[in-house]
Structure 1
Amino acid sequence: MNPAITLDQQYALTTAATRLERDFAGTFNVETIERFLHSSYDQFAGRAKVTTFLPLLAEKFARQRLNALARVEGKHLDGKPTVLFLCVHNAGRSQMALGFFEHYAGENAVAWSGGSEPGDQVNGEAIAAMTERGIDISNEYPKPWTDEVVRAADVVITMGCGDACPIFPGKRYEEWVLDDPAGLTATDIRPIRDEIERRVLALLDELHVTPGFTSSRV
C-alpha cells in the first residue's frame, strides 16, 4: 500500500476498482484496470491541495482512459465522432468547449478535455458564464491528457498549449486562437464563451453530428 494513501482512501480505491472491473469485464483484465486506476490517482495526488475526493477523481479519469483505450484497440466501435479539447490548465476554454459540445451533441458524439499543465479547479467565472447559457460545468475537473485519450480522438482541438500539446501523425488537429479567460470576470468571458459556442456548432456540422438543440442562447 502506498504510504501516502490513508486507509479510507485505500478502501475507496478498492471499491472503485471493483466497479471498474465490473464495467469493463471482458474488455480489460484486472491488472490493466488497477494499473490505470492507480496511475490516475498518482496524476492527481501529486498536485492536490485537498485529498478527500482523490479516489473519485481517479475513478472518473481511469474510466475515461479505459474507454479511450478500448476505442484505440478496436474493442469499442460505436461509430461516434470523438473530439478532444486541449488548453493549458483545462480550467476555462477547453472546459467551456466540452460543455457546449456535450450539450449540443448529446449521445451522438463523444468529447473529452485535458490540459498540458492542469490547474487546481475549473475557473469559477467560466462556470458562471456557462450557467448563463444553461450549461453546468461545475462538476468538471482539470486533468492531464494521456496518450490513449489523444490516440482515440478523431479531432484534437488545441487552445494555446503550443508545443506542449501532443502530436500524433495522421490525426486531425485544429488550433482555436482564443483569449485565456484566467483572471477575467464572467462579463469579460462572455465574448470568449460565445465564440467557443460558434466554433463548436461549426465543428459539429463538419462532423455531421445533428445538434439536439438549435441554440443555447436566451
Structure 2
Amino acid sequence: MRILLAEDDQRIAESLAAAFTAQHYIVDIATDGEKGWDFVRTFAYDLFLLDVMLPKLDGVSLCQRVRSHGYTMPILLLTARDDTTDIVAGLDAGADDYVIKPYKLQELSARMRALLRRGHTTLSPAMEWEGLQLEPNICQATYEGRPLHLTPKEYRLLELLLRRNGCVLSRCDILENLWSFDDPPDEDAVKALVKRLRQKLKAAGAPDDFVATAYGMGYYLKQYSHEQQPRHDENLTHPPLVANSRKRTG
C-alpha cells in the first residue's frame, strides 16, 4: 500500500511515516499543499492523509483540486479544528473522513484501514504457495507453519511475488512498489533484498531457489509440484498490490 502524507510539521510527519512504514505501508511526505499536488499527479496512491493547515495551498483547497481532476483515492483529513463548519467544509470538498488533533495513532490507523476496506484495496484472504502462507490482514508469513521474521520491505516483496501467482516480477515493479520518493534505492538494492528474503525462506526450510530468477526479466515464485518455466503476464505492467485508484492526467 502506498500512502501520501501531507503534513508541514516535520516532527509529526517523520513520526507518522515511521509508524506507517512499520505497518508495511510505503509513505511519501509532502510538506506543503503544492508539493502534495505534485505527488498526486506523479504517483498512484491508495490513501491520502491530508493536514488542513498547509502552507502554499491549504488542505481543503487541495482536496477540492484533487477531486475536481478526477482522482478518487480515499482522503482522510487531519485537522486541529473541531468546529462543525470546518469539518463540513472538508467533507464537502471531497474528503472521506477526518481525525481531530491531537489523535491517537491506534485510532488513526483504524480509520485508515476502514477507508482502505471501503476502497477494496486491502484485507485480502490468506495466500498460499508451495508451503508458504501469507496473512495480509495481520502482515504475517509462515513456511510450513514456521514463522518468517521479515522486515517491512521483505514482507512487501513476498506479497508482490505471491500476487503475481508465478508470473515474473520485474526489478522496475519492485522499485516502484517498495521504495518511497524520499527513500531512493541504490543500484544493488533489489538484488540485496531478494538475497535476504531467500536466506530467511531457506532458514525456514524452503528450497534455495524458492524465489527464482528469470534472467533479464526479474523474479518469480517457483512451483515445485508442477515444474514449469516462468510465466510473463503481458497484461500486467505493474503488480495489482498498488491500486491505481486515481485517474491519470497529462
TM-score normalized with structure 2 length: 0.26
* Higher alpha-carbon Rg: 2
TM-score normalized with structure 1 length: 0.28
